[in-house]
Amino acid sequence: MTRIALDGIAHSYVRHPRTDKDYALRPLHHVWEQGMAYALLGPSGCGKTTLLNIISGLIIPSEGRLLFGDRDVTRLPTEQRNIAQVFQFPVIYDTMTVAENLAFPLRNRKMPKALITARVAEIAAMLELTPDLNRRARGLTADAKQKISLGRGLVRSDVSAVLFDEPLTVIDPALKWELRSKLKAVHRALDLLMIYVTHDQTEALTFADRVVVMNEGQAVQIGTPEELFERPDHTFVGYFIGSPGMNFLPARVEGNRAYVGGNTIALGAAYPELTDAVQIGVRPDFTTLTDGPGLTVQVRRIDDFGRKRLAHVTLDGLPLVATVPPGWAGDGSQARVGFDAPHVLVYRNDVRVEGVAA
């Protein structure tokens, strides 16, 4: 049973970093708990792969300590870390059969033959590779090759963690779903710590117990999918998670009221006096067109997604996305919009401000 702790881990590819921009990964404290599934979510170049490679030892961080349990492994080479990693593009050993590929990590660690055979059979069954076990790996499709890579990552039962670096990029969409649920099942069955890097929010939110949202080398929020959706800590999380992203409006906040231009919006909590750039944020799911009382907006267009309809509207010239309720019978260019007060959050300089329950 190991937990992996990051103690101020930071990395820069520049020799003498001066500004925050020089860091691929800014100082990060976090504990990855045994048996949990984490996702590292963020746009390309946000430092997620760097963080993953630091944990596996392919990169030695420029600052901080990395602990496996109580052991400091910061400078330990990959081979001595007991960690498995699956890469974005399939890596297979051309000259070997599928079974030999799966057995390779075990054979290198001098496991007994009987154990290797049993493990390989078990993992092959999980990933549905059993019929291909005796085929040469080089002639297989990209899908099958990536399954072999996944299998090599999962075949060792003693690992501290299994790291996935966007492993489903090359897999076709139909199979993607299947493999993702398979990974989830494997996770439940094996009680492993898994860290899964992706830039696809659906992938992250469906796979992980906890999601780490990263941007520009910083972990902006770590939380459950619900937390990220309901209470984004940072405007970036609001934009990045959910489609479409959160609505943000520049506002002035007094007590439990927010003033946007000439409009007043009720808040779910009371706030102290705030200076600097203050915004309120509310998800389109909690912004609803209504026939009852509400703020008057101009309707620009309505997108029909079949199961739901979204309206693109402007409030005093500020763009907003709102849900169109099933019974809504409005037409023309004007409508009224209502906000669900508990879900209207307040941000100061892009960071969420905690209110006091009113």
Partner 1 sequence: MMDKPTNNRAWFFVLPVLVLVLFSSIVPVMTVVNYSLQDSMGVNNFFWNGDSWFRDLLNPDTEIGARFADALLRTIAFSFTALAVEVPLGIAIALCLPRRGWSVGISLVIMALPMLIPWNVVGTMWQIFARQDIGLFGAALTGIGLPYNVTQGSVSAWVTIVVIDVWHWTPLVILLSYAGLRAIPDAFYQAARIDGASRWAVFVNIELPKLQKVLVIAVLLRFMQTFMIYTEPVVVTGGGPGSATTFLSIDLVKIAIGQVDVGSAAAMSLVYYIIILTACWIFFTVMTQIDRRGDR
Binds partner 1 (CB under 8 A): choice among 20, 79, 128, 291 = 79
CB of 162 to partner 1, least distance (A): 10
Smallest distance, Å, CB 12 to partner 1?
Answer: 18
Asked if 77 touches partner 1 (CB under 8 A), the answer is yes
- Total binding residues for partner 1 by CB under 8 A? 28
> Judged by CB under 8 A, does residue 84 bind partner 1?
yes
Binder to partner 1 among 8, 21, 93, 333 (CB under 8 A)?
A: 93
Q: Is 56 in the site for partner 1 (CB under 8 A)?
A: yes
Shorter beta-carbon distance to partner 1: residue 96 or 133: 96
Is 89 a residue that touches partner 1 (CB under 8 A)? yes
Task: Check binding of 88 to partner 1 (CB under 8 A).
Answer: yes
Taking the least distance from each CB to partner 1, the nearer of 152 and 352 is 152
Q: Confirm or reject binding of residue 96 to partner 1 (CB under 8 A).
A: yes
Shortest Å, Cβ 269 to partner 1: 48
By CB under 8 A, tell whether 139 contacts partner 1: yes
Name which of residues 119 to 138 contact partner 1 (CB under 8 A): 136, 138
83 forms part of the interface with partner 1 (CB under 8 A) = yes
Q: Tell me the torsion sign for CA atoms 16, 20, 26, 27.
A: positive
57 vs 225 by CB, closer to partner 1:
57
Radius of gyration for the chain, computed over Cα atoms and rounded to the nearest angstrom: 24
Backbone phi, psi, residue 44, to 5°:
-60, 140
Q: Which is nearer to partner 1, 79 or 128 (CB)?
A: 79
Nearer to partner 1, 19 or 80 (CB): 80
Answer yes or no whether residue 152 interacts with partner 1 by CB under 8 A: yes
109 near partner 1 (CB under 8 A): yes
Q: Among 79-87, 167-175, 229-237, 344-352, which window interacts with partner 1 (CB under 8 A)?
A: 79-87
Q: Which of 104, 229, 240, 339 binds partner 1 (CB under 8 A)?
A: 104
What's the CA angle centered on 172, arms 170 and 178, to 5 degrees? 110
Q: Which amino acid is at 250?
A: P
User: Is residue 333 within 8 Å of 296, Cβ to Cβ?
Assistant: no
Instruction: Give the binding site for partner 1 (CB under 8 A).
Output: 53, 56-58, 77-79, 83-85, 87-89, 91, 93-96, 104-105, 108-109, 136, 138-139, 149, 152-153
